[in-house]
């Protein structure tokens, strides 16, 4: 199996690298063709033309676009992501400060979506053929019609304002100073044994993660129910029934192994969209992640930050698809032959 997994990773790597290069060219060229001047956003309106040109040359914007790209991609391969024009710090530092927050948010959202989606999906399958099936189908379709930002507003109004159960701004309470170790607040709190900080971070991440999860969970419910309905017609399920095995045992120990595979594929593909969907949710909850950084960079026309943030989103999507391919092989014995 290990040899097969390594072969899959190698094949994906051979595809991913050219794909990332193509995506980087597209992002870079499109941003440079936009009718905006990032220097005009940061320089004084009273600056002389020679000062503007000097600033443009300092950031490498005076060279032809192909030359700019070759310089930039060469620096990226050497670990230099450039400097942010408006933030006046290294792009790598900005990514190091914001990317861990978005990864944590996306992982918590994925966990909540899987718990809600699998639990509700199993229940929807269990009540098939009854009046409750119609109710659950209508309920899941209604949930699908709510986008993540609407769930965010509903959760803020109900849980954050009306009931005042959980905080809804920031990453942790203002009374805490987060340790600067890995950038992942939960991991850093565990390393430093800071229980109050861990609880504060958990309280702050629940609402934005739930907003993303509630928009994603209905897809998992419906796909899991459809997959299980198809699997339960297989011969080995009929044989298990003839042996007197109970329905719940058949479902959990036999049908779920095969029925979960299409759902796993959906989770992997949709994780990329979930990760990208953090942008709006981060703005609504004032969550200091990559999406929040990207919006601020767009407002300031900070091209180095925009292009690296966009490329980071692409890398996460491709990485999640690769993980799904590997898990599919691990869970499906037919692919290991």
Give the span between the Cα atoms of 247 and 192, in whole angstroms.
Answer: 47
Summarised one tens digit per residue, pLDDT across range 6-64 is: 777 788 788 888 888 898 999 888 888 877 777 766 676 777 778 777 877 877 777 88
- The values of phi and psi at residue 223, to 5°, are -70, -40
Res 166 pLDDT > 60: yes
Mean pLDDT for 126-144 is: 89
Q: Mean pLDDT for the chain?
A: 86
Instruction: For residue 51, give both structure tokens.
Output: 């000062």
Res 79 pLDDT > 70: yes
Summarised one tens digit per residue, pLDDT across range 242-279 is: 888 887 788 877 788 777 878 887 887 788 788 888 88
Q: Which residues contact 68 (CB under 8 A, 6 or more apart)?
A: 28, 32, 60, 61
Q: List, in sequence order, the alpha helices (H) in 127-194.
A: 131-144, 148-155, 185-191
Supply the pLDDT for residue 324: 78
Q: Which residues contact 184 (CB under 8 A, 6 or more apart)?
A: 100, 103, 104
Supply the pLDDT for residue 41: 64
Instruction: For residue 216, give both structure tokens.
Output: 């994603």
DSSP per residue over 218-250, as a string?
A: HHHHHHHHHHHHHHTTSHHHHHHHHTT--HHHH
Residue 261: CB atoms within 10 A of its CB come to 17
Percent over 70 (pLDDT), the chain:
96
Q: Are 293 and 305 in contact (CB under 8 A)?
A: yes
Q: Would you give the DSSP letter of residue 83? A: B
What is the pTM for the complete model shown?
0.88
Q: Which residues contact 96 (CB under 8 A, 6 or more apart)?
A: 183
Percent over 90 (pLDDT), the chain:
31
Supply the pLDDT for residue 247: 76
Mean pLDDT for 85-90 is: 82
> Which comes out higher in pLDDT, residue 51 or 140?
140
Q: Model confidence at 112, in pLDDT bands (50, 70, 90)?
A: very high
Supply the pLDDT for residue 202: 96
Supply the pLDDT for residue 322: 82
Reported in sequence order, the residue ranges of the chain that DSSP labels E, i.e. its strands, are none
C-alpha triplet 283, 288, 289: angle, nearest 5°: 85
Supply the pLDDT for residue 178: 86
Q: Could you tell me how many residues make up the chain?
A: 337
Q: Are 231 and 259 in contact (CB under 8 A)?
A: yes
Supply the pLDDT for residue 332: 66
Supply the pLDDT for residue 300: 83
Helix (H, G, I), strand (E, B) or coil at 177: coil
Q: Model confidence at 1, in pLDDT bands (50, 70, 90)?
A: low
Closest to 254 in 3D by CA, of 270, 268, 267, 242: 242
Closest to 271 in 3D by CA, of 320, 327, 315, 328: 320
Residue 62: CB atoms within 10 A of its CB come to 13
Q: Model confidence at 126, in pLDDT bands (50, 70, 90)?
A: confident
C-alpha triplet 200, 296, 168: angle, nearest 5°: 25
Instruction: For 123-142, give the secondary structure using H, E and C.
Output: HHHHCCCCHHHHHHHHHHHH
Supply the pLDDT for residue 193: 93
Instruction: For residue 68, give both structure tokens.
Output: 């700019």
Residue 65: CB atoms within 10 A of its CB come to 13
Q: Are 20 and 314 in contact (CB under 8 A)?
A: yes
Summarised one tens digit per residue, pLDDT across range 181-237 is: 999 999 999 999 999 999 999 999 999 999 999 999 999 999 998 888 888 888 888
Supply the pLDDT for residue 42: 67
Helix (H, G, I), strand (E, B) or coil at 102: helix
Per DSSP, what are the bridge partners of residue 90? 83
């Amino acid at each position: 199996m290990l040899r097969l997994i390594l072969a899959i990773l190698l094949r994906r790597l051979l595809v991913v690298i050219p794909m990332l290069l193509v995506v980087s060219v597209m992002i870079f060229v499109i941003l440079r063709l936009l009718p905006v001047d990032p220097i005009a956003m940061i320089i004084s309106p009273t600056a002389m033309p020679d000062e503007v040109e000097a600033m443009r040359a300092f950031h490498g914007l005076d060279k032809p676009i192909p030359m700019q790209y070759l310089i930039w991609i060469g620096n990226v391969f050497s670990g230099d992501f450039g400097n942010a024009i408006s933030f006046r710090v290294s792009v790598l530092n900005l990514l190091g400060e914001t990317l861990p927050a978005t990864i944590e948010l996306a992982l918590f959202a994925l966990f909540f979506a899987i718990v809600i989606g699998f639990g509700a999906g199993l229940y929807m399958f269990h009540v098939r053929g009854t009046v409750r099936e119609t109710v659950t189908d209508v309920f899941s379709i209604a949930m699908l019609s709510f986008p993540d930002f609407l769930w965010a507003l509903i959760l803020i109004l109900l849980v954050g304002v009306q009931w005042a159960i959980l905080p809804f701004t920031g990453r942790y309470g203002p009374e805490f100073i987060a340790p600067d170790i890995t950038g992942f607040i939960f991991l850093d709190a565990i390393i430093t044994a800071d229980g109050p900080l861990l609880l504060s971070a958990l309280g702050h991440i629940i609402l934005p993660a739930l907003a993303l999860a509630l928009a994603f969970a209905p897809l998992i419910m419906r796909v899991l129910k459809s997959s299980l309905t198809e699997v339960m017609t297989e011969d080995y399920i009929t044989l298990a029934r003839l042996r007197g095995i109970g329905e719940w045992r058949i479902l959990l120990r036999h049908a779920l192994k095969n029925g979960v595979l299409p759902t796993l594929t959906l989770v992997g593909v949709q994780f990329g969209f979930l990760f990208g969907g953090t942008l709006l949710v981060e703005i609504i909850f004032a969550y200091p992640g990559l999406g929040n950084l990207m919006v601020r960079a767009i407002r300031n026309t900070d091209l180095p930050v925009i292009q690296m943030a966009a490329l980071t989103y692409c890398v996460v999507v491709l990485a999640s698809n690769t993980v799904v391919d590997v898990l599919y092989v691990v869970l499906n014995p037919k692919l290991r032959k």
